[in-house]
Amino acid sequence: MSAGPIRIPVGGTAGTSPYEVLVGRQLLGELPGLIGRAARPSPTTALNRGAARHSGVQRVAVLHPEALASTGEAIRADLAEQGYEAIAVQLPNAEEAKTAEVAAYCWSVLGQTGFTRTDVIVGVGGGATTDLAGFVAATWLRGVRWIAVPTTILAMVDAAVGGKTGINTAEGKNLVGAFHPPAGVLCDLACLDSLPAHDYVSGLAEIIKAGFISDPVILDLIEADPQGACTPAGPHTAELVERSIRVKAEVVSQDLKESGLREILNYGHTLAHAIEKNERYTWRHGAAVSVGMVFAAELGRMAGRLDDATADRHRTVLAAVGLPLTYRGDQWPRLLETMKVDKKSRGDRLRFIVLDGLAKPTVLESPDPAVLAAAYAEVAAGGEANGGAL
Ligand SMILES: NC(=O)c1ccc[n+]([C@@H]2O[C@H](COP(=O)([O-])OP(=O)(O)OC[C@H]3O[C@@H](n4cnc5c(N)ncnc54)[C@H](O)[C@@H]3O)[C@@H](O)[C@H]2O)c1
Ligand SMILES: O=C(O)C(=O)C[C@@H](O)[C@H](O)[C@H](O)COP(=O)(O)O
Ligand SMILES: [Zn+2]
């Protein structure tokens, strides 16, 4: 007999409802329970035409990327069979979905479908899709329920959990968004089998981040078998996913709106987002986070916070799974400009998450510009950018 899914609770703070992240296989049967009762007429009301329809969820919009067209349609058809008025809304793949134009397209589809506050959005895809789907749910009618069905390892361990939703603007990454937690998250590990290898490895960066900021067992597991860590068939895949989700769930349960603790989840992201923008989002997020963590480790070391062994460990574990460690030295002035609009900045003060030691994240306020440049010189030391190719 197979065990049921692992259920990880995420606490409701700031007046939001608690929800669960389910990790397992064949989880789509859980979807109707999360969506809520379908409002189709029962056989009795069908006979009695003119009777009021049952209250309940009537419409479900399944937002999915182009790459998952058949999955999106299968979910839509299944929901329609169960009595929901279900539509599938196809989005561009990856970061191209996270734009105001795509959000506006979704709003127009919802408007034309007559989507009301009792209706539900389901985001099926990687982190870009769940960020956009959550943002559309947060903004449509000032907030409708949504459910995340993450299909990349990155989205399972990070993006789909915690209610940070958003889109990019010309000025930078995730600059527009809302905190709008989902009603549930379904992580079906079978989805990972079709994920391209470079997308799988990119997701490992967020898992390694969880290891450095909170759960070093994650690092031990990856270092013990880096090749295994690079594939969904690896011996520790489920444990790595579960441990990383628990790190995220613990943090966002305490601080949904990033008034303090939640900033630790941004480890490596200040530089990462600047690199993503500089590369016009052709780098995967995880690849940029990898370089960003090497930079943050150097910053921590140079600021006198982080010991050499832990700083060096960043390079070894990231390189072991094939993640990039370097970026173009000549881009530093542009990257520094972009970092100034990072959401952790306060006025003219740049702020970075660094480590005081393994699993001891802290904030570094307004580091000396010379230290920042010196830390970046260590990242640039390798010369050519190699992240796009992974
Ligand atoms: N909201 C948050 O807390 C949070 C956290 C981390 C990352 N993010 C965001 O997540 C995004 C990155 O997410 P990602 O790494 O999942 O990338 P992604 O969403 O861009 O997906 C990568 C590619 O894989 C395709 N794909 C998705 N699932 C697939 C599957 N099962 N099989 C085959 N192809 C599949 C997608 O269509 C896309 O082309 C970034 O925009 C990042 O900012 C958000
Ligand atoms: O959930 C969070 O909080 C994070 O910072 C997780 C990050 O991995 C994620 O990339 C997030 O979208 C970054 O948020 P941002 O506020 O820096 O845009
Ligand atoms: Zn991230």
Share of the chain residues as helix, strand and coil, in percent rounded to the nearest 5: 50, 20, 35
- What domains appear along the chain, each with residue ranges and CATH number? 6-42+55-194 (3.40.50.1970), 198-380 (1.20.1090.10)
Cβ-contact 245, 21 below 8 angstroms: yes
* Bridge partners, 7 (sequence order): 22
Ligand 1 interacting residues, C-beta cut-off 6 A: 65, 67-68, 93-95, 98, 125-129, 131, 151-152, 154-155, 158-159, 162, 164, 174, 191, 194-195, 199, 202-203, 206, 284-286
Tokens of 40: 């189709």
Residue-wise pLDDT for 256-277, tens only, equals 999 999 999 999 999 999 999 9
Q: Which element (helix H / strand E) includes 14?
A: none
Residue-wise pLDDT for 338-374, tens only, equals 999 999 999 989 999 999 999 999 999 999 999 999 9
Q: Write down the catalytic residue from 59, 180, 209, 262.
A: 262
- C-alpha count within 13 angstroms, C-beta hemisphere, residue 223: 13
Q: Hey, which of 266, 291, 293, 353 would you mutate to test ligand 2's pocket, going by the most ligand atoms within 8 Å of its Cβ?
A: 266
Q: What is the mean pLDDT of the chain?
A: 93
Give nearest CA residue, ligand 2 atom 15. 174
Residue-wise pLDDT for 305-335, tens only, equals 999 999 999 999 999 999 999 999 999 999 9
* Contacts of 334 by beta carbon, 8 Å cutoff, 6+ apart: 274, 278
Burial of 144 from C-beta contacts in 10 A (0-12 / 13-18 / 19+):
buried
- C-alpha count within 13 angstroms, C-beta hemisphere, residue 279: 21
- How many angstroms does the Cα of residue 301 sit away from the middle of ligand 1? 31
Residue 136: pLDDT over 90: yes
Cβ-contact 365, 312 below 8 angstroms: no
Q: Positive or negative, the Cα torsion across 295, 301, 302, 305? A: positive
Cβ-contact 102, 135 below 8 angstroms: no
Residue-wise pLDDT for 79-110, tens only, equals 999 999 999 999 999 999 999 999 999 999 99
CB atoms within 10 A of CB 108: 10
Question: Dihedral of the CA atoms 310, 315, 318, 322 (nearest 10)?
Answer: -160
Q: Write down the catalytic residue from 168, 174, 266, 278.
A: 266
pTM of the model: 0.95
Q: What is the mean pLDDT of residues 189-199?
A: 97
pLDDT at 15: 74
Cβ-contact 167, 132 below 8 angstroms: yes
285 in active site = yes
206 in active site = yes
Give nearest CA residue, ligand 2 atom 13. 266
- How many angstroms does the Cα of residue 53 sit away from the middle of ligand 2? 42
